[in-house]
């Protein structure tokens, strides 16, 4: 539940900030609300189509190869989370600038109001598609089932929408860089936990034979099926009996995402400096 809440909150917040930027840049334009609503609705419908295909693919593996399917989904989610963090670190400012440019172009009459629907629709579709992929990965790694994941997703959606509205209205003065840096760390640990779980699925399927030695047993202190243990498993990938392969995967993913994100942020700063 916590994993789905964090991921959906992050994605909804990103989409909400894009909508807020466009709204701020098109103040006074008659009919903007209708076109923006159309764009949001189109993006949501597109995300539902993606979700329908994901469910159909998952159903094909209901009886055979479920461990391999789960491991594959988790590994894809890990790669997407790494790419997502790096992409936002490099293109976050550029994206905001582009959204402002479109808004100003619409307000000045250089572009039609349909451009608003397209820009918003693409943004919502992108974030929604990522949500579908990530939640599918969470379903493969959690034992709570679709009800728990759905509850967390709805909570993250409501919280993300609320924070987006408050930021747009100026009722809160939280620097967005702090929000995104915090969620970036959380997503990094979530990805590492997913990678460790994927390794476990590969071992269960008999694909990964090496690294099966259990390093320690902390079940006497904190069992991973307890309430606190489950929460830590979701947030930081905690397990009371980790294997060598799981630890290697966990550390490698954390180090890889951090290095990739820092490289992307540094590359973005170099690109911005000449422009200034």
Select the more confidently predicted residue: 256 or 124: 256
User: What is the residue-averaged pLDDT of the chain?
Assistant: 75
The predicted structure's pLDDT at residue 165: 80
How many angstroms separate the CA atoms of 1 and 142, rounded?
9
What letters, b where the CB count within 10 A reaches 16 and e where it falls short, cover 125-161? Answer: bbbbbbbbbbbbbbbbbbebeeebbeebbebbbebbb
Domain extent listing, the chain: 2-275
Select the more confidently predicted residue: 143 or 226: 226
Q: Is the pTM of this model over 0.75?
A: no
| Helices and strands, number each (H, E), in the chain | 8, 0
**What's the mean pLDDT in 101-107?**
70
How much of the chain exceeds pLDDT 70, in percent? 68
The predicted structure's pLDDT at residue 152: 77
The predicted structure's pLDDT at residue 250: 94
**What's the mean pLDDT in 64-87?**
73
The predicted structure's pLDDT at residue 117: 75
Select the more confidently predicted residue: 95 or 132: 132
pLDDT digits (tens, 9 = 90+) for 61-73: 555 566 677 777 7
What letters, b where the CB count within 10 A reaches 16 and e where it falls short, cover 202-231? Answer: bbeeeebeeeeeeeeeeeeeeebeeeebbe
How much of the chain exceeds pLDDT 90, in percent? 5
**What's the mean pLDDT in 203-223?**
86
The predicted structure's pLDDT at residue 276: 47
């Amino acid at each position: 539940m916590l994993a789905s809440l964090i991921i959906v909150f992050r994605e909804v917040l990103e989409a909400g900030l894009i909508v807020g930027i466009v709204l701020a840049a098109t103040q006074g334009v008659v009919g903007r609300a209708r076109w923006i609503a159309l764009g949001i609705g189109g993006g949501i419908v597109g995300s539902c189509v993606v979700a329908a295909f994901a469910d159909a693919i998952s159903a094909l593996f209901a009886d055979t190869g479920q461990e391999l399917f789960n491991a594959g989904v988790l590994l894809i989610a890990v790669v997407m989370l790494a790419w997502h963090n790096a992409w936002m670190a490099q293109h976050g400012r550029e994206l905001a600038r582009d959204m402002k440019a479109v808004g100003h172009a619409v307000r000045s009459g250089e572009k039609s109001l349909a451009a608003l629907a397209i820009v918003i629709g693409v943004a919502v579709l992108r974030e929604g598609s990522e949500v579908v992929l990530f939640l599918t990965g969470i379903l493969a790694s959690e034992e709570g089932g679709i009800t728990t994941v759905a509850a967390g997703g709805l909570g993250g959606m409501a919280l993300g929408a609320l924070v987006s509205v408050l930021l747009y209205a100026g009722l809160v003065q939280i620097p967005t860089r702090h929000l995104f840096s915090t969620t970036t760390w959380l997503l990094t640990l979530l990805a590492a936990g997913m990678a460790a779980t994927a390794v476990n699925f590969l071992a269960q399927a008999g694909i990964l034979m090496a690294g099966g030695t259990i390093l320690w047993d902390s079940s006497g202190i904190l069992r991973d099926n307890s309430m606190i243990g489950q929460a830590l498993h979701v947030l930081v990938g905690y397990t009371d009996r980790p294997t060598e392969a799981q630890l290697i995967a966990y550390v490698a993913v954390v180090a890889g995402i951090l290095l990739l994100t820092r490289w992307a942020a540094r590359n973005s700063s170099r690109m911005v400096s000449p422009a200034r």
